[in-house]
């Protein structure tokens, strides 16, 4: 069927057709390309855009039996309930507090490790350490949780036992006590991410011109001054970009990490937006209210990302888009 | 990336005593970090080969006094555990192939600057990177499609990672266009160009993204949590969670259990089984993922 149409297609190679082409001509001429686009478009329509349409149930009292069109519209009822009810303050506080702890403890960790690795003089040892500290990045949150459980469980936890041996007193149930929830989240993040996070900084450090060190040494700079005046300025832009990226995702804790550590005893400190949405929406069937919570978080997230991007450009960085 | 990194500390010469002390401390500190990373894993590995008595009696060990394989024998004789393992392997394999197919076929037309409508589709894709329907509406779509308790629910909702799609698209744009054009003039259809010219040139990036996708599916806990209720359809990650959690007793009850089972060793052994494939592929993962991080950081 394609034989008589082949010549125009050959002419349609890149660069030959500037300007607008009538839709029917384009569809015919590029039929194979459009055909290749179809499965992907179906995917995006079904699993990305249909759920976006589904967000309308945040303004309904959604009953699955009645469907999207049949369920009664209730305006901003669920948002009013969210903002005046007891959940919002707790969710926002838990989310932001974890974000703050992450910024203070987790964000700097890979920078420090990368700088230390950069000072190692034995290449083999450096690569050996790198290969080991990258491993946790590839392990699932389930595995990370299981390790935490095997090490910190009140009955048989290895580390829990050591701490008990050192301090005496009653055994502490780290996994159940609300006070220990946030420290455990931070510990897990440090273990899982600080090794892998060094890659981007090491790449920046590797691109430093060795002549700069040479010049600094000629000027009498010792090791510390070379670090301060050459190494650190070299990775400053990377740190700024990473900081902007991180703050754009301020509201995004890892759902899996938080959910796995959550139990009935620590829920007051553990609930963040995503896990709350799953708990109320999927487990309890409060579809509309949970969707309203999710929509609030989604919109706030978009504002944050664009805000941080704007800030990045104001600061003279490239920004993300 | 090991080439240029050598130019850092190795070429600088320091001889002051303070500098020497720092070097030694740095060596020890980084060695300590490496140990903290691997010791928990080695302990779990050792524990999975130890007897129940040894696990509870000895505070820490990296080599069991009596090496026993009874825990693994139990696992491979138990239907639920074996089924979870097979399920996870099959879902990961099928899922990865499907994800690669969809991602690469969609990325190719999007790489053609002259294709009318391309910008619109690209913008629709990019929008999903910053905003989406979220957990509940996606759950409702999956349910309405009748995918609850189906293995497809673990694959289809994640079939294309928009971020990977954009990276692959950028890669296709970088390919030399002259080859493609020559093939077209020789009468090749776009499909022919894609299969005969483009894909053979893309082998490295196909390897990279198969690993990306495979690791993501293997490690996925959220999808089975959301979409799978039937414990006959548990994946390995769910099983690991069920066995190593404060309410593990219920889950062990579900393991159509025999009279004896190594309760403690079982926890260690499932963690090992869920981790091992990742560690076997680790050398490839490290190489390709490091590349991916750096590709991802380059702006389009």
* A92 and A47 in a common domain: no
A39 in contact with B at a CB cutoff of 8 Å? yes
* A95 and A51 in a common domain: no
Q: Which residues of A touch B226 (CB under 8 A)?
A: 278, 282
Residue B215 backbone phi and psi in degrees, to 5: -60, -40
CB contact under 8 A, B14 and A223: yes
Q: By C-alpha distance, which of B201, B202, B185 is closest to A14?
A: B185
A56 C-beta neighbours (distance < 10 Å), count? 17
Q: How far is B27 from chain A (nearest CA, A)?
A: 7
Cα gap B208→B167, rounded to integer Å:
11
* A25 and A112 in a common domain: no
Asked whether the beta carbons of A62 and B219 are under 8 A apart, the reply is: no
What pLDDT digit, counting tens, does each position of A255-302 carry?
999 999 998 889 999 999 999 999 999 999 999 999 999 999 999 999
Q: How far is B172 from chain A (nearest CA, A)?
A: 14
Tell me the pLDDT band of B7, cut-offs 50, 70 and 90. very low
Asked whether the beta carbons of B102 and A47 are under 8 A apart, the reply is: no
> Which of A36, A203, A217 has its CB closest to that of B105?
A36
A163 in contact with B at a CB cutoff of 8 Å? no
What pLDDT digit, counting tens, does each position of B210-253 carry?
988 999 999 999 999 999 998 889 999 999 998 887 665 555 55
pLDDT > 50? residue A160? yes
* A234 and A92 in a common domain: yes
- Which helix H or strand E contains A234, and what residues bound it? helix A232-248
Q: Residue A219: helix, strand or coil by DSSP?
A: coil
Please indicate, yes or no, if residue A70 is contained in any of the structural domains. no
Tokens of A266: 């620590």
Q: How far is A93 from chain B (nearest CA, A)?
A: 21
A216 in contact with B at a CB cutoff of 8 Å? no
A274 in contact with B at a CB cutoff of 8 Å? yes
pLDDT given for residue B263 in this prediction:
76
Tell me the pLDDT band of B262, cut-offs 50, 70 and 90. low
Cα gap A306→A51, rounded to integer Å:
22
Asked whether the beta carbons of B215 and B278 are under 8 A apart, the reply is: yes
* A171 and A205 in a common domain: yes
Q: How far is B146 from chain A (nearest CA, A)?
A: 13
What pLDDT digit, counting tens, does each position of A179-201 carry?
999 999 999 999 999 999 999 99
Instruction: Tell me how far the alpha carbon of residue B202 is from its chain's centroid.
Output: 21
Tokens of A28: 């015919």
- From A33-47, A134-148, A295-309, B5-19, the region with the lowest mean pLDDT: B5-19
- From A39-48, A150-159, A214-223, the region with the lowest mean pLDDT: A150-159
* A140 and A55 in a common domain: no
* A178 and A124 in a common domain: yes
User: Residues near B165 by Cβ (< 8 Å), separated by ≥ 6?
Assistant: A40, B103, B106, B107, B110, B125
What pLDDT digit, counting tens, does each position of A81-136 carry?
999 999 999 999 999 999 999 999 999 999 999 999 999 988 899 999 999 999 99
CB contact under 8 A, B9 and A320: no
Please indicate, yes or no, if residue A36 is contained in any of the structural domains. yes
Interface of B with A in 176-205 (CB under 8 A): 177, 181, 184-185, 187, 189-191, 194
CATH number of the domain where residue A125 is located = 1.10.3720.10
CB contact under 8 A, B136 and A302: no
Please indicate, yes or no, if residue A308 is contained in any of the structural domains. yes
- Which residue in A has a C-alpha nearest to residue B293's C-alpha? A200
Q: Residue B134: helix, strand or coil by DSSP?
A: coil
Please indicate, yes or no, if residue A249 is contained in any of the structural domains. yes
Q: Which residues of A touch B47 (CB under 8 A)?
A: 150
Q: Which residues of B touch A128 (CB under 8 A)?
A: 34
B194 C-beta neighbours (distance < 10 Å), count? 22
> Which of A37, A162, A302 has its CB closest to that of B130?
A302
B67 in contact with A at a CB cutoff of 8 Å? no
> Which of A13, A205, A305 has its CB closest to that of B130?
A305
B32 in contact with A at a CB cutoff of 8 Å? no
Q: Which residues of B touch A282 (CB under 8 A)?
A: 135-136, 139, 226
pLDDT given for residue A69 in this prediction:
86
Tokens of B185: 């003039």
Cα gap B160→B98, rounded to integer Å:
9
Tokens of B72: 């693994």
* A227 and A149 in a common domain: yes
Please indicate, yes or no, if residue A65 is contained in any of the structural domains. no
A55 in contact with B at a CB cutoff of 8 Å? yes
User: Residues near B228 by Cβ (< 8 Å), separated by ≥ 6?
Assistant: B148, B149, B153, B154, B234, B235, B238
Q: By C-alpha distance, which of B60, B62, B58 is closest to B49?
A: B62
B246 in contact with A at a CB cutoff of 8 Å? yes
Cα gap B149→B139, rounded to integer Å:
12
- Residue ranges of domains in chain B, CATH in brackets: 15-68 (no CATH), 78-297 (1.10.3720.10)
**Which of B134, B139, B247 to mutate: most A Cβ within 10 Å?**
B134
Please indicate, yes or no, if residue A100 is contained in any of the structural domains. yes
Cα gap A141→B59, rounded to integer Å:
25
Q: What is the mean pLDDT of chain A?
A: 88
CB contact under 8 A, B189 and A32: yes
CB contact under 8 A, B1 and A206: yes
Asked whether the beta carbons of B282 and A135 are under 8 A apart, the reply is: yes
Please indicate, yes or no, if residue A64 is contained in any of the structural domains. no
Please indicate, yes or no, if residue A73 is contained in any of the structural domains. no
Cα three-residue angle B10-B32-A240, rounded to 5 degrees: 65
Tokens of A72: 């009664």
* A243 and A114 in a common domain: yes
Distances (CA, A) of A44 to A47, A49, B126, B136: 6, 6, 11, 17
Q: Which residues pair with A60 in a beta bridge?
A: A73
Q: Residue A22: helix, strand or coil by DSSP?
A: coil
* A208 and A125 in a common domain: yes
Residue B200 backbone phi and psi in degrees, to 5: -60, -30
Asked whether the beta carbons of A283 and A147 are under 8 A apart, the reply is: no
- Which residue in A has a C-alpha nearest to residue B122's C-alpha? A41
* A206 and A111 in a common domain: yes
Q: By C-alpha distance, which of A44, A45, A59 is closest to A296?
A: A59
Q: Residue A60: helix, strand or coil by DSSP?
A: strand
Cα three-residue angle A135-A141-A143, rounded to 5 degrees: 70
What pLDDT digit, counting tens, does each position of B270-293 carry?
999 999 988 888 888 777 777 766
pLDDT > 50? residue B258? no
Which domain covers residue A233, as residue numbers? 78-314
User: What ipTM does the predicted assembly reach?
Assistant: 0.88
Number of domains in chain A: 2
Evaluated on CA atoms A146, A149, A151, A155, the torsion sign reads negative
* A160 and A13 in a common domain: no
- Which residue in B has a C-alpha nearest to residue A285's C-alpha? B136
A121 in contact with B at a CB cutoff of 8 Å? yes
Q: What proportion of chain A, given as a percentage, has pLDDT over 70?
A: 92
- Name the pTM for this structure: 0.88
């Amino acid at each position: 069927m394609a034989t008589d149409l082949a010549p125009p297609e050959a002419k349609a190679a890149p660069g030959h057709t500037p300007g607008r082409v009538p839709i029917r001509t384009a569809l015919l001429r590029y039929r194979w390309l459009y055909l290749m686009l179809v499965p992907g478009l179906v995917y995006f329509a079904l699993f990305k855009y249909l759920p976006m349409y589904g967000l309308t149930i945040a303004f309904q009292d959604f009953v699955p039996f009645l469907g999207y069109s049949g369920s009664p519209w209730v305006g901003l009822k669920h948002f009013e309930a969210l903002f005046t009810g007891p959940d919002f303050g707790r969710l926002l506080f838990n989310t932001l507090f974890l974000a703050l702890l992450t910024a203070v403890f987790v964000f700097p960790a890979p920078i420090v490790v990368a700088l230390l690795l950069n000072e190692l003089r034995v290449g083999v040892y450096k690569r050996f350490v790198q290969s080991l500290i990258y491993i946790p990045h590839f392990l699932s949150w389930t595995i990370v949780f299981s390790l935490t459980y095997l090490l910190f469980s009140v009955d048989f936890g290895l580390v829990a036992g050591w701490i008990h041996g050192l301090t005496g007193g009653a055994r502490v149930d780290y996994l159940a006590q609300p006070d220990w929830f946030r420290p455990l989240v931070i510990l897990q993040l440090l273990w899982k991410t600080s090794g892998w996070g060094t890659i981007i900084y090491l790449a920046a450090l590797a691109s430093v011109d060795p002549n700069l060190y040479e010049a600094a040494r000629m000027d009498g700079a010792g090791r510390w001054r070379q670090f301060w005046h050459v190494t650190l300025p070299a990775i400053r832009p990377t740190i700024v970009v990473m900081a902007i990226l991180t703050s754009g995702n301020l509201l995004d804790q890892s759902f899996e990490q938080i959910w796995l550590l959550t139990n009935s005893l620590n829920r007051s400190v553990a609930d963040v937006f995503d896990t709350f949405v799953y708990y109320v929406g999927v487990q309890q069937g409060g579809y509309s209210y949970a969707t309203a919570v999710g929509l609030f978080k989604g919109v706030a997230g978009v504002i944050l990302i664009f805000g941080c991007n704007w800030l990045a450009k104001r600061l003279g960085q490239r920004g993300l888009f | 990336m090991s080439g240029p990194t050598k130019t850092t500390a190795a070429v600088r010469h320091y001889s002051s005593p303070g500098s020497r002390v720092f070097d030694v401390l740095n060596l020890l500190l980084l060695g300590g970090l490496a140990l903290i990373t691997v010791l928990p894993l080695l302990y779990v590995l050792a524990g999975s080969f130890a007897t129940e008595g040894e696990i509870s009696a000895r505070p820490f060990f990296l080599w069991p006094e009596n090496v026993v394989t009874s825990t693994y024998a139990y696992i491979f004789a138990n239907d639920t555990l074996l089924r979870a393992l097979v399920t996870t392997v099959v879902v990961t394999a099928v899922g990865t192939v499907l994800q690669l197919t969809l991602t690469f076929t969609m990325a190719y037309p999007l790489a053609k600057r002259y294709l009318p409508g391309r910008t619109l589709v690209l913008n629709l894709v990019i929008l999903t990177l910053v905003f989406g329907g979220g957990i509940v509406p996606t759950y409702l779509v999956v349910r309405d499609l009748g995918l609850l308790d189906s293995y497809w629910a673990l694959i289809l909702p994640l079939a294309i990672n928009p971020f990977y799609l954009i990276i692959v698209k950028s890669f296709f744009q970088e390919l030399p266009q002259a080859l493609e054009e020559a093939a077209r003039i020789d009468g090749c259809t776009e499909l022919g160009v894609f299969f005969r010219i483009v894909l053979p040139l893309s082998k490295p990036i196909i390897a990279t993204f198969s690993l990306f996708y495979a690791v993501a599916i293997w490690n996925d806990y959220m999808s089975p949590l959301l979409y799978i209720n039937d414990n006959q359809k548990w994946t390995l990650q769910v099983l690991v969670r069920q066995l190593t959690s404060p309410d593990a007793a219920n889950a062990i009850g579900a393991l159509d259990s025999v009279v004896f089972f190594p309760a403690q060793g079982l926890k260690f052994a499932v963690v090992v089984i869920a981790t091992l494939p990742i560690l076997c592929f680790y050398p490839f993962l490290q190489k390709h993922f490091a590349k991916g991080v750096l590709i991802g950081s380059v702006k389009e």
